[in-house]
Structure 1
Amino acid sequence: MDTPPFSGRIEGHGGAHAVAVARHHGADTMFTLSGGHVFPLYDAAVKPEPTMRLLDVRHEQTAVFAAEGVGKLTRRAGLAVVTAGPGVTNAVSGVATAHFNGSPMVLIGGRAPEARWGQGLLQELDQPPLLESVTKQARTARGTDAIAAAVDEAFSTANAAHRGPVFLDVPMDALYDQAAVELGAAAPERPAPDPGEVSAVARLVSEAERPVLVLGSDVWLDGAEAAALETAEELDIPVITNGQGRGLLPGGHRLLANRARGLALGRADLVVVVGTPLDFRLGHGLFGGKDGAPLAKVAHVADSPGQLTAHMVPAATAAGDLSAVLRGIGAEARPRPEAREWRSEVSAAAAAAAAADKEVLADGSDPIHPARIYGELNKVLAEDAVVIGDGGDFVSYAGKYIEPQRPGNWLDPGPFGCLGTGMGYSIAARLSRPSSQVVTLLGDGAAGFSLMDVDTLVRHRLPVVMVCGNNGVWGLEKAPMQMIYGYDVAAELTPQTRYDEVVRALGGGGELVTDPDGIGPALRRAFDSGVPYMVNVATDPDNVYPRKTMGV
């Protein structure tokens, strides 16, 4: 995952400089929507022979989500290229999503020519200020001879912990002009974690009676999946996974406590959170308190000091290479006998919850219970399947009932909660995991954001199975508004909209399912089809995911 900076000589127009450096950093696909400001980048990608795949989409946001998806799946920055002005502004939500997810990616934007700046040129806009708050770096490369170094810095910055998006725009005249440059720089060294900090976390684990380990996305993105599994099994304590941490312990693992999350986090006396922020998904770090238990101590471990929580003072913190931190904790901690008894209690609760799931996963109700879809999907998912969630209420059920067997194989919008990621992530998954099943779960609300990019899947021959939980409402909004006001507005969609026919009109396949017994056969037809295929399932609008807060 760590690539040294580019070293060597580059000649040609500015686009050639950018593409050569991006290729050096592992970018083999340029996700884009055509625009004249960035034509030299396309020219460099296809001449004198194809050096980089061009994959054009129907909305710039999809290009950014695809680049972010590549970053999530490969742990190397993906590349999106958009034209100036609205091309860049259309991309902002995707960049913000990558920022909150800590996903490495580089967005190169076109920019009005520098030589005539200020004359009211087409799409003349100073773009970096729009992206400064949601990127690790946002800048303009001024001059053809500055492009290669700027792109090199962009990829190195995006790929360095803590990972995230970088934005670079390049004036049109600089991209078209010719130059020759020579680059050479030493790769920066990543500081080792502080041994004293690691020991402090290990000491807390050794003292705790009811410890819990939480593993988040950055464990995967930092390449620490082997260390995480080894350390969890060495400590023998309950483990909860979230985001791309799902699958670090395969579904069914004896330590996996996701199905007993309420008990584990509610009665813990210590929660060690690794590779994820203490945000709303984790109660902002307030654990314990269940059944009269005191609040738990918290240890926060991050891939870099800037990711350590600032809204509370944990009992211990550690930052740095997550493999080193986790292995250090595993080597030093000596859990108490009570911790083993606690693990058995949580494991029993998780097993009981899983047993109880069987009834709802086989629910034969009409209208269809959303959980029945996951009961059928789990029967046909392969071990290496990539599962993508793009939705609110429907995808909440997926988070409960689907347990990935491998790390890095679950993608969702993350804490920013931006719908519309599905098609971009689908493109990224099919390219990054060409032999794996790719399943994209869409709420009917989310389908409205990006379904036109099924055209992209069809044109580029990227088969993906799409499953739409179609309940005809904005599920995350309708029920809370009813609870607050006793009525709801702006929360209705058309029941049983034929999203499957949209997919078929764009060249894919699909069908509407209204009978629960028809879900399994429809899924099998979808996987066998070899084309982008929509299984559009009409679900019960009154069956909403139970949640204690309005946070997702």
Structure 2
Amino acid sequence: MMASISGNALAAQALRAEGAEVIFYLAGGPMFDVMWESMRLGVRAIHTRHEQGAAMMAHGYARASGKVGLVNTSSGPGTINASTGMVNALLDAAPIILLAGASPLRTRDLEDFQEVDQVGAMRPLSKWAVQVHEGRRIPEYVAAAYRKALGNRPGPVHLDFPGDVLYSEVPEDKVVWGRSPRPARAAADPDAVREAVKLLKAAERPLVITGSGVIWSDASEQLEAFIERTHIPFFTTPQGRGVVPDDHPLAFVNARSTAFREADVVCVVGTRFNVILGFGRSPRFAAGVKVIMVNSDAEELGKGRPVDLGIAGDARQVLTQFLAEAGRAGDWAKETAWVSHLRDVDRKKANEMEPLLTSDATPIHPLRLCNEIRRFMERDAILCVDGHDTLNFARQSIPTFVPGHRINAGPNGCMGVAVPNAVGAQVAKPGKQVIALTGDGSFGMNGFEIETAVREKLPVLTVICNNGGWTADNPPKPGRDLPFTSYERIVEVFGGHGERVERPQDIRPALERAAKSGVPACVNVICDPAAKSETVRFSSYFQQQH
């Protein structure tokens, strides 16, 4: 008699075959035995306080590791609770797979327990959403999920598992096994490479802008070599920071707006012209700027604005080609008027910010808090940030030096991500210092995931920029105010280390004690409610259309 295997075991074996190391989940049916079987095969299981937190941990894990993040949810509300994490990953182009339990097929459309059209709900929030109807095809679908999550533009995938499919017994000779292939790296047309380098060399004010595609392609080394060969200033998207260290001589972080506005040729690699880059349009960029765009997703070429040269290809492969062609193009000027101009603007902006970075005023200015974190954190630390003003202050003042070590809300602007992102990142990089910098409003959304960190012995350090509200209080906004809650005491109740800080000179000692505690810690810093960050307005409903 032919041996059989359950759908639960098939799911676990297929995940392990794809290299699964950890699953973030909240226990519930019909997924219990998928988890048991996965754990039996050596997959680490981290159960969370909420499914939204689980999805955001998978996101943080993916960002920090460069691998697919896995999240497992129960049917109905458990799966729907993960939807915010899914759309966040979609807009951030982060590869996570949601393994969702679902009500049985045999009682479909009878209003069974937790019967919800989960695939229909997740379809607009993911790259691919599908339900598995046969147990024998589970490995095939798992392989496809990995292929789609990592392929082309990365993103989230939803796999729906009805309970009766999971608990079905399948003859082993009927199983449809699959395995996702290693993604191919597409090179660019050599003629396009020559044209791109020619445009950059002829430019008076060239600029390179990169995004997360450089991280997913593992192209940091090639990018830095190209920058140093050509001496072209570079900028990254907020999520792409660290691909070349922020203290590189050609990184002028404080001159970002000036550089975008004045560049005459822009080479965009591994990112999109979305809201973060003002859609590539005026007034963010000059109306007559020439644009070279390199993206693995050909559909992004010319989206948002026309491009003068579109190159569909892998960032690492294309940058390698650019570097070789730049060498053949001869010498490149080192100290141009353009580089000197951006350096001057960068220094001027940094000097203007210095009084707030070193301010002894109370309540504490958020930039003083950011400066203390900058001086305290290790060079290869992972920084996860969220909150409105908190995010903007950190962007202006805290550098990143390692690829994948800066994680924030991304284009979705989602609040509540810092703590779960940090937990996921700490799982991915257990030997690294991981800091979650969050506003007090944002902390209230997923702050209980610190209990997950305590239980899993993950020494994440959470710093709360507590300004007693959702934003600065200038101008006044409806529903803005929150109490200056002692969040650190909640963390102490969970078994972590907690401190409240109200004077600037006490920030660094509190951070040091928190780090030495060896447990998840929270430093709750009372900050100035009137401190308002300055940034480019992202919400297009306030802007004139172009």
Q: Deviations over 1:178-232 (max 9, x none)?
A: 2222525683745433333333322221221001111111111121111111111
Query: Alpha-carbon deviation of 1:519?
Result: 0.6
Which residue number corresponds to residue 331 of structure 1? 324
- Give the whole-Å Cα distance in 1 for the aligned partners of 2:36 and 2:403: 37
- Residues 464 and 523 in structure 2, CA contact (< 8 A), matched pair in contact too: yes
Shift in CA distance, 434/338, structure 1 to aligned 2, threshold 3 Å? closer
Select which of 378, 387, 394 maps to 1:391: 387
Q: Residue type matched to 2:304 in 1?
A: H
1:536 correspondence with 2:527:
no
Which residue number corresponds to residue 38 of structure 1? 31
Shift in CA distance, 178/370, structure 1 to aligned 2, threshold 3 Å? same
- Residues 240 and 257 in structure 1, CA contact (< 8 A), matched pair in contact too: yes
RMSD: 2.2
Query: Alpha-carbon deviation of 1:289?
Result: 8.0
1:121 correspondence with 2:112:
yes
Which residue number corresponds to residue 56 of structure 2? 65
SS at match of 1:406: coil
- Give the whole-Å Cα distance in 1 for the aligned partners of 2:471 and 2:20: 38
SS at match of 1:36: coil
Which residue number corresponds to residue 4 of structure 1? none
Which residue number corresponds to residue 285 of structure 1? 280
Q: Deviations over 1:284-323 (max 9, x none)?
A: 1126789xx7642222221221333423211111121111
Select which of 489, 504, 510 maps to 1:522: 510
Which residue number corresponds to residue 430 of structure 2? 434
- Give the whole-Å Cα distance in 1 for the aligned partners of 2:186 and 2:323: 20
Q: Residue type matched to 1:451 in 2?
A: G
Select which of 170, 175, 187 maps to 1:192: 187
Q: Residue type matched to 1:147 in 2?
A: I
Select which of 299, 310, 330 maps to 1:306: 299
Query: Alpha-carbon deviation of 1:177?
Result: 1.6
- Give the whole-Å Cα distance in 2 for the aligned partners of 1:287 and 1:317: 19
- Give the whole-Å Cα distance in 2 for the aligned partners of 1:432 and 1:152: 22
1:266 correspondence with 2:261:
yes
Query: Alpha-carbon deviation of 1:32?
Result: 0.5
- Residues 439 and 467 in structure 1, CA contact (< 8 A), matched pair in contact too: yes
- Give the whole-Å Cα distance in 2 for the aligned partners of 1:416 and 1:77: 20
Q: Deviations over 1:466-490 (max 9, x none)?
A: 00000012217x54xx3xxxx5311
Q: Residue type matched to 1:464 in 2?
A: V
Identity over the aligned pairs, expressed in percent? 33
Q: Residue type matched to 1:380 in 2?
A: F
- Give the whole-Å Cα distance in 2 for the aligned partners of 1:497 and 1:27: 39
Select which of 152, 157, 160 maps to 2:148: 157
Which residue number corresponds to residue 493 of structure 1? 482
- Residues 230 and 332 in structure 2, CA contact (< 8 A), matched pair in contact too: no
Shift in CA distance, 64/309, structure 1 to aligned 2, threshold 3 Å? farther
- Give the whole-Å Cα distance in 2 for the aligned partners of 1:340 and 1:16: 62
- Residues 288 and 295 in structure 1, CA contact (< 8 A), matched pair in contact too: no
1:411 correspondence with 2:407:
yes
Which residue number corresponds to residue 544 of structure 2? none
- Give the whole-Å Cα distance in 1 for the aligned partners of 2:522 and 2:537: 31
- Residues 237 and 340 in structure 1, CA contact (< 8 A), matched pair in contact too: no
Query: Alpha-carbon deviation of 1:548?
Result: 4.3
Query: Alpha-carbon deviation of 1:517?
Result: 0.8
Which residue number corresponds to residue 29 of structure 1? 22
Select which of 447, 452, 465 maps to 2:448: 452
1:235 correspondence with 2:226:
no
- Residues 18 and 179 in structure 2, CA contact (< 8 A), matched pair in contact too: no
Which residue number corresponds to residue 5 of structure 1? none
Shift in CA distance, 10/531, structure 1 to aligned 2, threshold 3 Å? farther
Q: Deviations over 1:350-373 (max 9, x none)?
A: 234334443321111111110011
Q: Residue type matched to 2:21 in 1?
A: D
SS at match of 1:348: helix
1:211 correspondence with 2:200:
no
Q: Residue type matched to 1:302 in 2?
A: N
Q: Deviations over 1:141-200 (max 9, x none)?
A: 111101111111101211112111110001101111222225256837454333333333
Q: Residue type matched to 1:543 in 2?
A: A
Shift in CA distance, 347/455, structure 1 to aligned 2, threshold 3 Å? same
1:202 correspondence with 2:194:
no
- Residues 16 and 38 in structure 2, CA contact (< 8 A), matched pair in contact too: no
SS at match of 2:457: coil
Can you give the 5+ residue segments of structure 1 that lack an aligned partner in the other structure?
A: 1-8
SS at match of 2:139: helix
Q: Residue type matched to 2:303 in 1?
A: A
1:464 correspondence with 2:453:
no
Q: Deviations over 1:102-130 (max 9, x none)?
A: 11111010010111212221011121111
Which residue number corresponds to residue 183 of structure 1? 177
Shift in CA distance, 11/267, structure 1 to aligned 2, threshold 3 Å? farther
Which residue number corresponds to residue 252 of structure 2? 257
SS at match of 2:82: helix
Shift in CA distance, 239/11, structure 1 to aligned 2, threshold 3 Å? farther
Q: Deviations over 1:488-514 (max 9, x none)?
A: 3111111x2111111112221111111
- Give the whole-Å Cα distance in 2 for the aligned partners of 1:76 and 1:124: 32
For normalisation by structure 2, the TM-score amounts to 0.93
Q: Indicate the larger mover: 192-201 or 392-401.
A: 192-201
SS at match of 1:475: coil
Which residue number corresponds to residue 508 of structure 1? 496
- Residues 205 and 262 in structure 2, CA contact (< 8 A), matched pair in contact too: yes
- Give the whole-Å Cα distance in 2 for the aligned partners of 1:289 and 1:386: 29
Shift in CA distance, 111/294, structure 1 to aligned 2, threshold 3 Å? closer
Q: Deviations over 1:265-293 (max 9, x none)?
A: 12111121111111222121126789xx7
SS at match of 2:114: coil
Q: Indicate the larger mover: 209-218 or 417-426.
A: 417-426
Shift in CA distance, 87/10, structure 1 to aligned 2, threshold 3 Å? farther
1:174 correspondence with 2:165:
yes
- Give the whole-Å Cα distance in 2 for the aligned partners of 1:163 and 1:326: 19
Shift in CA distance, 332/82, structure 1 to aligned 2, threshold 3 Å? same
Which residue number corresponds to residue 86 of structure 1? 77
Can you give the 5+ residue segments of structure 2 that lack an aligned partner in the other structure?
A: 541-546
Q: Residue type matched to 2:16 in 1?
A: R
SS at match of 1:119: coil
- Residues 238 and 347 in structure 1, CA contact (< 8 A), matched pair in contact too: no
Q: Indicate the larger mover: 11-20 or 403-412.
A: 11-20
- Give the whole-Å Cα distance in 2 for the aligned partners of 1:437 and 1:15: 36
Shift in CA distance, 34/207, structure 1 to aligned 2, threshold 3 Å? same
Select which of 70, 77, 86 maps to 1:95: 86
SS at match of 2:528: coil
Q: Residue type matched to 1:435 in 2?
A: G
- Residues 271 and 287 in structure 1, CA contact (< 8 A), matched pair in contact too: no
- Give the whole-Å Cα distance in 1 for the aligned partners of 2:316 and 2:405: 20
- Give the whole-Å Cα distance in 2 for the aligned partners of 1:511 and 1:58: 23
SS at match of 2:531: coil
- Residues 206 and 264 in structure 2, CA contact (< 8 A), matched pair in contact too: yes
Query: Alpha-carbon deviation of 1:533?
Result: 0.8
- Give the whole-Å Cα distance in 2 for the aligned partners of 1:294 and 1:162: 28
- Residues 240 and 404 in structure 2, CA contact (< 8 A), matched pair in contact too: yes
- Residues 82 and 108 in structure 1, CA contact (< 8 A), matched pair in contact too: yes
- Residues 252 and 342 in structure 2, CA contact (< 8 A), matched pair in contact too: yes
Q: Residue type matched to 1:489 in 2?
A: P
